[in-house]
Structure 1
Amino acid sequence: MIEAKNLTKRYGPRIAVDDLSFTVASGRITGFLGPNGAGKSTTMRLLLGLDRPDGGTATIAGRRYRDLRQPLRVAGALLDAKAVHSGRSVHNHLLALAHTQGIAATRIAEVLDLVGLRDVARTRAGNLSLGMGQRLGIAAALLGDPQVLILDEPLNGLDPEGIVWVRTLLQQLAAEGRTVLLSSHLMNEMAVTAEHLVIIGRGRLIADCSVTEFVERHSEHTVLVHSPDAAALRETIVREGATATAGGRDRLVVSNMAAQRIGELAAATGAVLYEVTARRASLEDAFMELTRESTEYFATATRKDAA
């Protein structure tokens, strides 16, 4: 289990993490989300003892990371896939880590097979592609066969096959009862990988719940309606208290009314329906809606837009 209690971290006048508390339970994948600048990476560094908090505590399996005698056997982490000795081979990079933790050298072959890097074991780490570098980082995180995994953007640079592989691997590890904290900006992938979410904005906790609950709570459900009688049907729907806006020729986008009720109204008024499709809200929709006020960095208008 991972536990953060009232974590606070300042960099000069800026508060990167602000009185943040959450728990990451064992046996499931917890997605750690937030806009750029939200404090996710800083929080992970605090969990791993790479930064000292100005307030609060961070523990893994009930202890501070720096107090663990053989930390890689307890918690494996990937924060930066480029944080390797570029001149060492893939095998020797893992061997150096193994020596510091009393891990048998035979474990190296096991993790290289697990991440698909056996054929490049003698290749210099600095010559690996971005995707292979991510696999090496995951291998290092798994080296001590830990019960806790903390992974920051492990999907960067991976092809579709690699993404599916990471998802399957993490789900298997969670099914074994391990604790998995996963940060990623790939919302579609997070929606099918994580079971629980911890979401922060500007260093503060703004959601801590299951993926399903989060999407239900923070997104608007709409129904797409295609009818040659769209104008008349719109008036009927609005009189019922719902919202209906034009979605193209003979099409409506209806909010706050179930598809079944729209069908009943159409039947009662004699309106012809070509299509009634309930649009399921996505994790990305819900995330964008919730974090709209917590986004720290915005893109400026393009030259064309500004004209």
Structure 2
Amino acid sequence: MSAVENFNRPSDEYKPNFVLISGEKIIPVRVSEFGNALYILDRNSINRIRNYIETGNLTSEVQDIQKYDCVGNTISMMNSFLEGNYKDESYEKIKKQTNIHSKVISIFFKYAETDVKFFNENFEKFFVHESLREKNFLGMINFLKEVSCLLYRDYNMVESKGILEKILKKAINYSIPASNPVVIVCIASLYGNRDAKGVIKPKMDVNQFNPYSALNDLLSIIRAFRMQAFGRKFGIFNSKIDNIVTYDSCLNNIIKYFSYSSPEKLEIGASFFDLHININIKGEMFTNIFNIKEEKSRERYFNYLYDKIKSSI
């Protein structure tokens, strides 16, 4: 058995650097410098933590993750098991991996909240859906493959109109609403958003492009908001979540352009993947349009973009 399965706990190599004063009693805690954040771990991150637990090898990546082990933060293992379906892993294998990862997180995080208990108790109830894949998963993969070769280079504002038409047409062909963050981030990349391009990592040669990695990152936006909605509805998290943080700096910057509205009705038996949420975006996400100095010209481009997206929903 591995150290994780034996529940061996590593030594506390880092100490609380803040104190919380409660009456006359001083309680040592770690307090977040990032605000109350929902930190989403991917599979690689949890495997790095597991390696640290089993070997004692404290890498710089693990030290970065430790920074989020603070009162007020919430740690989610959501992406770690959802990644499994991209590798055609069986439901049983994903479930086993989830059990191991839940132990890793329970051992490692001492101050932040986690969603381990939630997943252990509700895995089947909430996540039975076509081997844990989002609806139209393959359609989104094929869409990204086809737009990658369009997004690898930069365009001026005139050229962008033609490329926008192609992107929206491909989204329609694969039954993906233009309001889907997967499509929106592609459009943001077209209009000069470097973080959007950093998330997608488009290539001229489709054989060098990794659509599965890009899609997993892009779906993190939707998953994070769904996780918040479930958390608020069913009391999964005690902390108020102000920010969403992932394992990717470009993705962190992209998420800041999005916000969401919680659904009014949400049943306890509802599938995570069937949860519909309303997502809002900020105009500055489309960098080249937002940076147009002449107000009327900027407004004209935004109206054009809005009309195109609306007509493709």
* TM-score class normalised by the smaller sequence: under 0.3
Of structures 1 and 2, the larger Rg is shown by: 1
Higher strand share: 1
TM-score calculated relative to the size of structure 1: 0.26
- The TM-score normalised by the length of structure 2 is 0.25
